[in-house]
């Protein structure tokens, strides 16, 4: 991590002592819980091959770096009002007016799932916002981890010529490139440093290239840190005696259903001939917990407590993907997405560095870089 920027501790050390209750957010969470309860009610009367599922491989999507998304109470409320006004009336009555659940549907399963998925997306946005807003100050500082400046500078044609001839560029071009250059300064110094003032001084002295050279190395190091294991576990066994298997102790689950659910980890974490194997033990430190309405998480990088949403059905494809992603944190991988609070809009802004990467995006899977980083960190 570049000097002056420990992004994870920024958030952890700036939390508030209380949860902030915001009616539009709370209402969306209640709505989402009711939606999932109704789905479970419907599925109880159906054969296994007829059960409704909200997610599958074809529904996966990402938020690429050039198309960031925003979320906040105003946007959540607007989405909720739009859903209420546009969804089929029978769904509106059951979800918004608490009419009794019904197992029979007056519309096709496919259409019902489309609407139910929209409600679930709103629920997830609201639950995530609620989990983040007590740490608003930290997420504001996390703006320093915004690497879009580096991303766009790397794509810029004739960058060297433009840096050398910066003062001859149009005002529009100076403003556009200047924003990227200020971003890489924030990557290095942190959001509290007055990068705009320093950049203006570089303009006054016609030292734009020097400004770029001063901060580009730290910015690149920050980008790379999203894909590197910063904290190592001490209980992973991967040696030359069994070069194709890395073993990780995991606490024995109380039910066969949860045991089978955890095997999703083994299904994902494999590359070529290599695979990860869970060694189920009654006293292993790494384990699974459930809480209603929680955003799935691990207590820390290379941590031991995986907390999942008790409201989410284990059979859902996206829930299975989530345990594969969260176990990446148990192994020591950070998230490779950026999420920060923008005070002027009261929103969280987020994007993913690589939507094909398991640790970046719900659209992602395990890649060779995960295997290579695991090998660098753990193979003996």
Close Cβ partners of 308 (under 8 Å, ≥ 6 residues apart): 288, 289, 290, 291, 294, 296, 319, 322, 323, 326
Q: For residue 340, is it within any domain?
A: yes
pLDDT of residue 19: 54
Residue after which a domain boundary falls, among 137, 162, 187: 137
Q: How confident is the model at residue 79 (pLDDT cuts 50, 70, 90)?
A: very high
Phi, psi of 248 (to 5 degrees): -125, 120
Over 80: is that where the pLDDT of 195 sits? yes
Identify whether the C-beta of residue 39 lies closer than 8 Å to the C-beta of residue 341.
no
- Could you tell me if 165 and 257 lie in one domain? no
pLDDT in tens, 285-342: 999 999 998 999 999 999 999 999 999 999 999 999 999 999 999 999 999 999 999 9
What pTM did the predictor assign? 0.89
Is residue 14 a part of any domain in this protein?
Answer: no
Same domain, 252 and 345: yes
Q: What does the pLDDT read at residue 146?
A: 98
Residues 60 and 131 in one domain: yes
Judgement on whether residues 126 and 152 belong to the same structural domain of the protein: no
143 is a domain residue: no
Does residue 235 form part of some domain?
no
The whole-number pLDDT of residue 5 equals 43
Looking at the fold, whether 295 and 209 belong to one and the same domain comes out as no
Q: Which of 290, 296, 264 minimizes the C-alpha distance to 278?
A: 264
Q: What number is the average pLDDT over the span 51-67?
A: 93
Looking at residues 195-217, what average pLDDT do you find? Answer: 98
103 and 212 fall within a common domain: no
Residue 11 has pLDDT above 50, yes or no: no
**Residue 6: its pLDDT value, please?**
45
Q: Domain for residue 232, yes or no?
A: no
Whether residue 92 sits in one domain with residue 42: yes
**Assign residue 315 a region: left if phi > 0, alpha if psi is -120 to 50, beta otherwise?**
alpha
> Is residue 236, in this structure, part of any structural domain at all?
no
Residues 216 and 283 in one domain: no
Region 204-216 average pLDDT: 97
Label residue 60 by pLDDT band (50, 70, 90): confident
Domain endpoint, select from 117, 137, 157: 137
Q: Are residues 329 and 360 in the same domain?
A: yes
- Same domain, yes or no: 261 and 369: yes
Domain encompassing residue 265? 245-378
The average confidence (pLDDT) of the chain is 94
* Overall number of domains in the chain: 3
Q: Of 137, 165, 184, which residue is a domain's last?
A: 137
Strand partners, 249: 279
- The Cα–Cα gap between 271 and 210 comes to 43
Nearest CA-CA partner of 106 in 86, 88, 85? 88
**The domain spanning residue 318 has which CATH number?**
3.40.390.10
**In this structure, is residue 268 part of a structural domain?**
yes
pLDDT per position as a tens digit, 241-300: 999 999 999 999 999 999 999 999 999 999 999 999 999 999 999 999 999 989 999 999
Residues 267, 361, single domain; the answer is yes
Per-residue confidence (pLDDT) for residue 9, from 0 to 100: 43
Q: Is 325 found in the same domain as 265?
A: yes
**Is residue 50 assigned to a domain?**
yes
Two structure tokens written together for 45? 């009367």
């Amino acid at each position: 991590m570049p000097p002056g920027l420990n992004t994870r501790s920024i958030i952890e050390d700036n939390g508030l002592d209380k949860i902030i209750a915001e009616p539009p957010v709370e209402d969306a969470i209640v709505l989402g819980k009711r939606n999932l309860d109704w789905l479970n009610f419907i599925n109880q009367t159906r054969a296994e091959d007829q059960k409704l599922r909200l997610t599958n491989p074809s529904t996966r999507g990402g938020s690429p770096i050039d198309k960031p998304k925003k979320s906040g109470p105003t946007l959540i409320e607007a989405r909720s009002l739009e859903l209420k006004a546009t969804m089929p009336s029978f769904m509106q009555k059951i979800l918004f007016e608490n009419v009794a659940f019904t197992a029979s549907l007056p519309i096709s399963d496919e259409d019902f799932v489309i609407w139910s998925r929209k409600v679930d997306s709103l629920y997830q946005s609201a639950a995530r916002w609620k989990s983040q807003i007590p740490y608003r100050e930290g997420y504001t500082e996390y703006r320093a981890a915004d690497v879009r400046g580096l991303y766009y500078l790397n794509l810029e044609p004739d960058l060297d010529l433009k840096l050398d001839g910066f003062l001859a560029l149009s005002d529009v071009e100076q403003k556009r490139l200047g924003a990227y250059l200020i971003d890489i300064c924030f990557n290095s110094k942190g959001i509290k440093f007055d990068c705009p003032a320093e950049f203006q001084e570089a303009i006054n002295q016609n030292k734009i290239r020097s400004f770029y050279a001063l901060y580009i190395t730290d910015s690149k190091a920050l980008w790379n840190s999203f894909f590197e294991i910063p904290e190592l576990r001490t209980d992973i066994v991967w040696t030359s005696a069994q070069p194709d298997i890395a073993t990780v102790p995991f606490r024995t689950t109380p039910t066969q259903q949860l045991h089978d659910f955890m095997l999703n980890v083994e299904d994902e974490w494999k590359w070529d001939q290599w695979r990860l194997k869970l060694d189920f033990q009654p006293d292993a430190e790494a384990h699974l917990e459930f809480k209603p309405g929680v955003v799935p998480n691990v207590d820390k990088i290379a941590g031991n407590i995986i907390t999942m949403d008790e409201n989410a059905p284990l059979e859902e494809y996206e829930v299975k993907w989530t345990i594969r992603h969260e176990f990446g944190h148990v192994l020591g991988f950070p998230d490779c997405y950026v999420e920060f609070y923008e005070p002027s809009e009261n929103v969280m802004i987020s994007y993913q560095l690589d939507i094909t990467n398991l640790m970046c995006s719900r659209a992602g899977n395990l890649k060779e870089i995960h295997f290579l980083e695991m090998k660098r960190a753990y193979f003996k």
